[in-house]
Structure 1
Amino acid sequence: MIGLPVILIGTFIFMPFFGITINMISLLALSLCVGLVIDDAIVVRENIFRHLERGDSARVASSKGTWEVGLSVLAMTLTIVAVFVPVTFAEGTAGIVFRSFGLIVAIAILLSLVEAFTFAPMMSANLFPNIKTKAKKHKGPHHDVVPDLKFVSPDAELSERDAGLIEEAHEDPGRLGLMYGNLLAWSLKSLTNRMIVVAVAVSILLLSGWVASGLKFTFFPEQDNHEFVLGFELPPGTALEETDRLARQAEAILMADPNFESVISTVGFSGNPERAEFSVKLTKADPTVEVQNRLRPQMAFLPRVSFTIPTMQSTAAGITGRDLQVSLQTTRPLHELAPVIQAVHATMDEVEGLVDIDSNYNEGKPELQFIADPARIGNIGITNDDIATSVRALINGSRATVLRQNGVDTDIVVRLRPNDRDSVQDLSAITIPTRSGSVPLSSLGTVSLDSSPTTIRRYDRLNQILIGANLEETNLTDASNALKPKIEALGIPADIVVSYQGTLQQTSEGFDSLILAMVLSVIFVYMVLASQFGSFTQPIVIMMAMPFSFIGAFLALRIAGIDLDITGMIGLIMLLGVVVKNSILLVDFTNRLRRVGIERHHALRLAGAIRLRPILMTSAALIAGAIPTAMGLHIFGGGEGSEFRRGLAWVIIGGITTSTLLTLLVVPTVYSLLDSVVSRFMGLFKGNQPQDAVAAPAPKPVVPPKTEEPLAEEEPAAQPEASAPVGADA
């Protein structure tokens, strides 16, 4: 833990170089990194501690312990980095979140690698430099994991790193290690037992698919900030006074509610005097959704009323702020879409859970239109601009002069009297000065009362109408799944493009980015492991832990009652790199034991028993680091925004738990099966070789010093057990 501040402070130092600020996403990444970045140091210090127990000095134990697990720690770190490399290239809103989170985790994990290789062994060697080391003595009798340890042909050239493995093979791993070793002995005893383990693993994978089918999906998690926006809109052309009258009635109802802490009213917007909004801040007595449901019947007198909870995507009460948005796009004029809009509106009314259904289509704001007669105005010798200037001066007025009284200037504006410009007939009788004298406006063209849209929304060069709705006691995915078949059954013409925007579109893009990032992450992890282990098949064994993390993640979300959102998606990607750490420790140590001549199954049992302690320690550290976030524990704050972080934490806790428990059996089993297949496949080629190509006899196995139990007789090198570790042909 002493290196944790070094890693976190170093991460803060590097964040500005990548344009990352301190925000909710970056702090969430750092909080989960607390349990992740100490994994490397745990593996290194645990191995150093094992050497101290064997009687080595602090300096020797630090040097040997770090050297022996160097390859494993490097592979563990690079897999995490490889997982988050493709995440940084995601697009859209999901890409912004993924990039920030992925870069912070990558920076922190690379710094943890440096700390594990430098600071950790240095502190282990110099923290207690004068301590006298003694070999650890067990209180009870000594127990070997494999009493009848069997040796086959060792490698001709052993590295100095593997020279002391025979002594380690006869260490007592403790009661828990012995129990795990016995369990591995049963699973590896026969092909039947191994197939039973595989069958159970496949069944669990199928179960994870069933668990995932019951999950609900959303983009951002629902957060209760105890505030909402209430809005309404009158028909176009309504006077501001009428909007204000209704707004005051609604404001009186809101202010009378004791659960409302503050109300901010906005009556009239630029170019839209018929619209009003109320920003309401609640006390923390009742949930926001319950208050909205209680308030909705009281506000039924307001036209086109809507409720919106401010989120990261939108804070407005308009159509673009609704949870579910249906888009209609076409090249037709907007008024031709009216029947289709009504049909879609009626269809959405039939879907349970959709409320505040409305569209941004209005018949238009009333206006007086003048269409000039080109021949007439051409004969008189005036232009459209001349007519517009005269009409504007008579209706709006023009400044004739300035009256100065007591040092105060007052504009004198001249225009028609109100009773001369109130009706269409009055405006038609306006006289327009021309070269031939003044003529009435009606003689220059046609004056009519009509309407036109105040705004025209276009998307991808097409006219667009949005029909939006809010959700009430339902999930966005469930509502959209119920709505889509109903809209398809309407038989909307082919020249009208129907699509879904808003949160649903962002959710779809986010999950598409997740699938792409997961595929690329698996490929990158395979490439890293293949380069580290020099094999094409061993990465497959190591990556068997990946699918077993999903069952725990999905099950944890189901138990906690949380939807799978964008933070949970980040957790799933993160699990791809985290869960292979345990497999790396097992496979790497198994390969080392086999290189010194220990038989395959015995090597697997020894590696599992000896590496069980660091595996459980690293998994426990990750789970412990995510528990405060999952439980919403807080000391210095009020806990606001904890809903945003819970999904990711529960995914990590569930995924790490199941993957750790399952891979401790599945990975050794798959290693054994795949190694047998590779050995037999390679044996086919060896059988076709000429007799003079037969390899020389293998050297005698290394005999461990001071062992009390006789070793089994050496088996012929031609047997399958004498083959190199699985995948060594690469």
Structure 2
Amino acid sequence: MKLVNTSVKRPVGVIMIVLAIIALGVVSMRSLTVGLFPKIDLPIAVVATSYDDAAPQEIENMISRPIESAVSSVEGIQTVQSQSQSGSSLVMMMFENGTNLDQALLDVRESVDQAKGFLPEGAGDPSVLRFSPDQLPVMWVGITGDDPAALTEIANDQVVPYFERQGGVASVTVEGAKEREIQLILDPAKLQQYGINAQAIMQALNNTNQSASVGNVEKGNKDLQLRVTGEFESVDSIRNTIIQTQSGATIHVDDVAEVKDTFKESSTVTLVNGEPAIVLSIMKKTDANTVEVAENIRESMDEVSGDLPSDANLNVIIDTSEFIQMSINSVAKNILIGGVISIFILLLFLKSVRATIVIGLSIPIAIISTFTLMYFTGETLNVLTLGGLALGLGMMVDSSIVILENIYSYRKAGHSLFDSATKGASELAPAVIASTTTTLVVFLPIIYVEGIASDMFTPLALAVSFSLIASLVVAVTLVPMLSSKLLSKAMEYNGRRYWFDRFLDKVNNGYRGVLKWVLKHRKTTVFGTIVAIVASLALIPLIGASFIPSSDQGQMEISVEAAPGSSLDYTKQIVEQVNNELTDYEDVIETNYVSVGGGGFGMMGSSANQATYTIQLIPSSERTKTTKQVVQEIDEDLEGIAGAEIAVKATDSGMGTGDPVQIQLNGPQHEVLRELSIQVVDRISTVDGIYNPTSSADNGVPQMSIEVNEEKAATYGLSEQQITSQIQLRFTGQVASKFREEGNEMNVVLMFPEDKRSTINDLRDMKIQSQSGTSIPLETVATLKQVQGPVTLQRENQQPQMNVTSQIVDRDLASIVEDVRAELETMNLPEGYSYEIGGQAEDMASSFRDLAIALVFSIFLVYAVMAIQFENFLFPLIIMFSMPATVVGVMVGLYITGLPLSIPAFIGVIMLAGIVVNNSIVLVDYINILRRRGIDRYEAILEAGPSRLRPILMTTLTTILAMVPLALALGEGAEMQQPLAVTIIFGLGISSIFTLLLIPVVYTLFDDLTGKITRRKKKA
């Protein structure tokens, strides 16, 4: 080939090009974005709306339903879900894969804008946002000290602005901060004494606390603007605000109210390792490098700490970049180990350091070139793309091995170094290109794969493809050039016999003997192969299936939910009990961060009866137990805590795959769904492998329903709104005005003393002021009734819904789901009610369907490439018989290692479709070459088999052994590639044996069949 000749004739040019590629690759590698997983763009949009103090039923009818109806017509929407809880609504839209989400968000905003007119007065403006795993915090930083108020000021004025200026930081959210406010605690007796009400105080405050421009006057040749300044200058000015009584007298605010400069009553409490703290959660920009952002924050912490008071301390609570770095380092270490193993195998076979260097150079050049191509295609450096490099490591040298072996053959035949390099490389370059192409084309059907499987498959496929393309170019250019310059002595036979040569001779002789036997017993060989395949398929039920292997990131979550309506103080008591139990795990817990009273998603309201722990364990290499084992032990210890439902689970952040088992119950009535969900939890709890099943149903929050009698209220000149306003002022307070001090703005809030607004009797004894100024008991115009109200109402596709979710342990997902489905089938659901199984189980089924289609297309493309190479339909068909045998290796490998069939394993099967045929191509191609030289078919097979055994063993062993570190799951984050590596190791290993024995038999069978057909045609 011209490319080969040019590279051998112009070595300097080749070397300069290689150096340029290396330099570009190094620059590209430093510029690549680093992450744990590839960017997963979940097609989800969210509309969040608030409506203060409204009950869930009102939120559902007045907020959620109108928004659901408005957005349902947006093109591309697959599912619309809503959650309605007290004071807030959340509507989530899941779009079909392939939807242009940018355009879809514009359509959603237009639809929501049109629906605003149907929302009640007082409802907040709906916020439309795009949900992405990138919106999760990358780091949590805690500020601890003695004075929470001072810490809040430090966080808001110093730390947060400084952090937000750092590179890659999008925003910083403060949790657990104290919010300053001016409280006017009203004295009911004084109000009655002076004959004024809260509205009069509010009016006086607003009239006093305002500034306005009132015109201009001339002074000489200038205009002076006239401005009346009346804003509050201090808290004392609020106390001294004048109020006019109905009798015309004047009093001050502090005559009827106690003015307190204090902090707003907190609805949440944050604790770090059991101590109160202010927590900063740091979000990165979408295109920012997680590791780089974390490094920037750590550096800025060192800088800003010097400006803080001595009693204020900054500490990293959780840093997600640590696991990313450990995972990247472990995969890089596996690549290095695999590379060393490959080099050792080459040295063993080639017996020459120079020859090993010639081939070994293809590994670093291919890897560096891959980094360049990844940079220009926008891929990130993560465990999957690096895993792709590790998987392709052994295959990188395959082309170079085949080329060098042929160059060596020509050299032994007496040709010069130049002729050996050019003729040897040119002769096999087409076959090498074809064999590499068969490996590459299996990745083309990725266009038919969608969802999580595509997000995982595409980066890995690109990494492997880039590395193979680069190694192919090296094989047909750099290897011939270096062979012509460096291998003069390496190719000279000096008569010495190495122990490995003697071993290979024995293997060759043994293989020749077995090959003779299978050629004499062709039917037995074919029948034995079929039996082996059928027997391996029988292992499928024992292997099972799962979605994606979870990485042991050392993160876990504990959710504490006390009875609905429980106070914050009560929840804190439960948390203290949990903390006491966690002291037994101090040796494995690195950080323990709990938010008490926080709840909901994003803008969803907080719940005083809930607490959420985020726990970071020490790295897996420093502990003897896995995260799942620690989770189960803690869960058992917490079972003894009464008064709350406590669930413990391991978190696997980054993939956004949800719970393994998620059962969606649908029907027309929320109450019926609530009962059904409780029954479902009881039923599936008996299934082996189900762990911590929970229902989204709840017992309901206790509510005091106040029903205003409008006719009675009208007789006193009162409306329902006026009565509601007075009750709200009495029990929640009301913002009367704003107070600004040194650039900070805070609320001035009217409220009643706590001992006047804390019990039911306070409500029953409450007096309502009429328009005439008289006071009447609340029960005169309203009926009080205690009821149980729902906490959250869920809907999907404009129909009520209830979810039951569960974690799984000790069994594969597919078999658990099968048993769960069998249990659900025995339930007699009422008419109009149904269930669906979603979560990871649904994603797994969908991904397996897509990957199965991709596998079929891959096999067809491999056949098409070989048909083009051989310009024959028969020989590719013979070669394709090496594929069924891979089933034996895959099933046996997964069974031995105890791994279920998962998406990575399925991707390994697809890759095998392009890998296993390479050895067959080499073997069949050489048989044809010998037969064209006039050698008998039987002799050609007996000569081609043993002579091609050496390169086949080299390529197979380098590919298999380079993946052993990944198959052993060494280091953090290696669990993702383990099934893929195991699949390829066992599939390729077993397939190679069948290739060496079965393909020659199939070759003779098809050759005999072709001969019979040809003779018949001649006779005809």
Distance change (3 Å), C-alpha of 1:486 and 1:621: same
Task: In structure 1, give the amino acid aligned to 2:996.
Answer: L
Task: In structure 1, give the amino acid aligned to 2:978.
Answer: R
1:221–1:644 contact (8 Å) kept in structure 2: yes
Alpha-carbon displacement from aligned partner over 1:171-212 (angstroms, at most 9, x marks no partner): xx95544543444344334xxx21111111111111211233
Cα displacement (A) at 1:619: 0.3
Distance change (3 Å), C-alpha of 1:412 and 1:102: closer
2:723–2:768 contact (8 Å) kept in structure 1: no
Distance change (3 Å), C-alpha of 1:55 and 1:296: same
Q: Which runs of structure 2 are paired with 1:198-597 in the superposition (5 Å)?
A: 198-262=526-590, 263-270=592-599, 271-282=606-617, 284-300=623-639, 301-302=641-642, 303-312=644-653, 322-330=659-667, 332-371=668-707, 385-399=721-735, 413-416=749-752, 418=754, 421=757, 422-423=759-760, 426=763, 430-431=767-768, 433=770, 447-597=784-934
Give TM-score, length-normalised by structure 1.
Answer: 0.80
3-state DSSP of counterpart to 1:273: coil
> 1:34 and 1:407 mapped to 2: Cα distance?
60
Cα displacement (A) at 1:366: 2.8
2:661–2:839 contact (8 Å) kept in structure 1: yes
Alpha-carbon displacement from aligned partner over 1:281-330 (angstroms, at most 9, x marks no partner): 44514343443343334312242211111114689xxxx96543222122
Look up the match of 1:698.
none
Look up the match of 2:993.
661
After TM superposition, the structure 1 stretch with the greater mean CA deviation from structure 2, 430-439 or 230-239, is: 430-439
Task: In structure 2, give the amino acid aligned to 1:507.
Answer: M
> 2:469 and 2:613 mapped to 1: Cα distance?
49
**Aligned partner of 1:19 among 352, 375, 378:** 378
Look up the match of 1:676.
1008
> 1:139 and 1:371 mapped to 2: Cα distance?
102
> 1:205 and 1:404 mapped to 2: Cα distance?
80
Distance change (3 Å), C-alpha of 1:15 and 1:399: closer
Cα displacement (A) at 1:608: 1.8
Q: Aligned pair 1:187/2:514, yes or no?
A: no
Distance change (3 Å), C-alpha of 1:663 and 1:232: same
> 1:609 and 1:406 mapped to 2: Cα distance?
88
1:590–1:604 contact (8 Å) kept in structure 2: yes
> 1:245 and 1:277 mapped to 2: Cα distance?
14
Look up the match of 2:43.
none
Look up the match of 2:424.
65
Look up the match of 2:198.
none
Cα displacement (A) at 1:99: 0.9
**Aligned partner of 1:96 among 442, 455, 458:** 455
Alpha-carbon displacement from aligned partner over 1:244-273 (angstroms, at most 9, x marks no partner): 001011101212445343322221214212
Alpha-carbon displacement from aligned partner over 1:607-666 (angstroms, at most 9, x marks no partner): 223222111110011112112222345xxxxx2223333222222211111111111111
Distance change (3 Å), C-alpha of 1:529 and 1:443: farther
Distance change (3 Å), C-alpha of 1:587 and 1:260: closer
Distance change (3 Å), C-alpha of 1:344 and 1:111: same
Look up the match of 1:728.
none
Alpha-carbon displacement from aligned partner over 1:107-128 (angstroms, at most 9, x marks no partner): 1111222111111111111224
> 1:139 and 1:353 mapped to 2: Cα distance?
59
> 2:904 and 2:587 mapped to 1: Cα distance?
32
1:265–1:279 contact (8 Å) kept in structure 2: yes
3-state DSSP of counterpart to 1:218: coil
2:678–2:695 contact (8 Å) kept in structure 1: no
Task: In structure 2, give the amino acid aligned to 1:12.
Answer: F
Cα displacement (A) at 1:433: 4.6
Cα displacement (A) at 1:43: 0.7
Distance change (3 Å), C-alpha of 1:282 and 1:138: closer
1:582–1:615 contact (8 Å) kept in structure 2: yes
Cα displacement (A) at 1:359: 0.7
> 2:746 and 2:848 mapped to 1: Cα distance?
63
Task: In structure 1, give the amino acid aligned to 2:858.
Answer: S
Aligned residues: 642
Look up the match of 1:161.
none
> 2:787 and 2:859 mapped to 1: Cα distance?
62
1:55–1:136 contact (8 Å) kept in structure 2: no
Task: In structure 2, give the amino acid aligned to 1:465.
Answer: M
Distance change (3 Å), C-alpha of 1:37 and 1:128: closer
1:234–1:304 contact (8 Å) kept in structure 2: yes
3-state DSSP of counterpart to 1:351: coil
1:88–1:100 contact (8 Å) kept in structure 2: no
Distance change (3 Å), C-alpha of 1:615 and 1:491: same
Distance change (3 Å), C-alpha of 1:112 and 1:384: farther
Runs of 5+ consecutive residues of structure 2 not aligned to the other structure? 1-359, 499-503, 600-605
> 2:472 and 2:891 mapped to 1: Cα distance?
30
Task: In structure 1, give the amino acid aligned to 2:650.
Answer: I
Alpha-carbon displacement from aligned partner over 1:553-604 (angstroms, at most 9, x marks no partner): 2212222222333222221111111110011111222223333433333333
Distance change (3 Å), C-alpha of 1:377 and 1:132: closer
**Aligned partner of 1:75 among 428, 434, 437:** 434
Distance change (3 Å), C-alpha of 1:537 and 1:405: closer
> 2:743 and 2:931 mapped to 1: Cα distance?
103
Task: In structure 2, give the amino acid aligned to 1:414.
Answer: L
> 1:121 and 1:487 mapped to 2: Cα distance?
66
> 2:496 and 2:876 mapped to 1: Cα distance?
37
Look up the match of 1:105.
464
Give TM-score, length-normalised by structure 2.
Answer: 0.58
Name the structure where strand makes up a greater proportion of residues: 2
**Which structure ranks higher in relative contact order (CA pairs < 8 Å, sequence separation ≥ 6)?**
1
2:882–2:920 contact (8 Å) kept in structure 1: yes
After TM superposition, the structure 1 stretch with the greater mean CA deviation from structure 2, 195-204 or 385-394, is: 385-394
3-state DSSP of counterpart to 2:960: helix
2:533–2:884 contact (8 Å) kept in structure 1: yes
Q: Which runs of structure 2 are paired with 1:83-162 in the superposition (5 Å)?
A: 83-87=442-446, 89-128=448-487
3-state DSSP of counterpart to 2:543: coil
Look up the match of 1:144.
none
Distance change (3 Å), C-alpha of 1:413 and 1:640: closer
Cα displacement (A) at 1:466: 1.5
Distance change (3 Å), C-alpha of 1:627 and 1:444: same
> 2:580 and 2:685 mapped to 1: Cα distance?
30
